[in-house]
């Protein structure tokens, strides 16, 4: 019989670790009014989840979605890793992409976004209209905005920077620190591949960027140049 989400839960449940779960709840800010408020953890480390992906390749897309709707953070992460694997192998790519964007309410922490967005959304839109990224970037939902900027990582790795820079500009004045970090990270990744492109953007915007965003963006710069940017004297 085909594997079900419940079958996968039965495999994961004995792997739970209470101490690791408590640490994860603090690390992922699950307290009241924090960004991960109410999230629940089994306490299973990511490398183990990654090793399980191949074991569950027989699951249907419908059961993959059922797992994504789990109350447990690690089960949602495993579901996303399975979707990434399915997409990378060329299985039902249009359906995987559509499912992902229809169910972003379950992709609700930074590790879930970062483990999946570029590999599915970024990869799918590489040779397509990028408007879905701009709609996500304008969303009121923190995680949809993070999906927008993190999806551009796929393009950055392929030395295509225009949409990453445009979305960085859209998000430059975002109210959320997690967006500042993600945008700064993507700017740094552009700089790792083409420093002049990053610096052109920074020269125009570094004085009005959030401090965290700027620090992430210039992390790999020589110390003297990094200090000049931080002191506003470039």
Tell me the pLDDT tens digit for each residue of 169-191. 999 999 999 999 999 999 999 99
User: What SS3 class is residue 116?
Assistant: coil
Q: Which two tokens stand for residue 95?
A: 């359906």
Segment (H or E) for 151: helix 142-157
Q: Which two tokens stand for residue 218?
A: 């210039």
Tell me the pLDDT tens digit for each residue of 11-54. 999 999 999 999 999 999 999 999 999 999 999 999 999 999 99
Confidence of residue 85 (pLDDT cuts 50, 70, 90): very high
Tell me the pLDDT tens digit for each residue of 109-126. 999 999 999 999 999 999
Q: CA 44, CA 48: separation in Å to the nearest integer?
A: 7
Tell me the pLDDT tens digit for each residue of 156-168. 999 999 999 999 9
């Amino acid at each position: 019989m085909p594997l079900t989400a419940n079958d996968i839960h039965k495999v994961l449940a004995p792997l739970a670790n209470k101490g690791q779960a408590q640490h994860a709840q603090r690390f992922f800010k699950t307290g009241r009014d924090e960004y991960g408020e109410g999230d629940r953890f089994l306490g299973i480390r990511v490398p183990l989840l990654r090793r399980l992906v191949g074991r569950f390749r027989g699951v249907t897309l419908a059961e993959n979605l059922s797992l994504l709707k789990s109350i447990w953070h690690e089960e949602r992460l495993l579901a996303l890793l399975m979707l990434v694997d399915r997409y990378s192998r060329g299985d039902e790519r249009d359906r995987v992409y559509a499912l992902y964007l229809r169910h972003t309410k379950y992709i609700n922490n930074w590790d879930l976004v970062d483990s999946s967005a570029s590999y599915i959304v970024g990869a799918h839109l590489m040779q397509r209209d990028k408007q879905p990224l701009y709609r996500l970037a304008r969303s009121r939902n923190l995680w949809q905005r993070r999906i927008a900027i993190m999806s551009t990582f796929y393009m950055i790795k392929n030395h295509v920077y225009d949409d990453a820079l445009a979305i960085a500009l859209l998000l430059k004045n975002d109210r959320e620190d997690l967006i500042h970090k993600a945008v700064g990270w993507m700017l740094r990744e552009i700089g790792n591949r083409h420093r002049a492109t990053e610096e052109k953007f920074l020269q125009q915007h570094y004085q009005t960027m959030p401090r965290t965003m700027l620090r992430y963006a210039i992390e790999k710069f020589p110390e003297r140049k990094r200090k000049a940017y931080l002191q506003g004297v470039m």
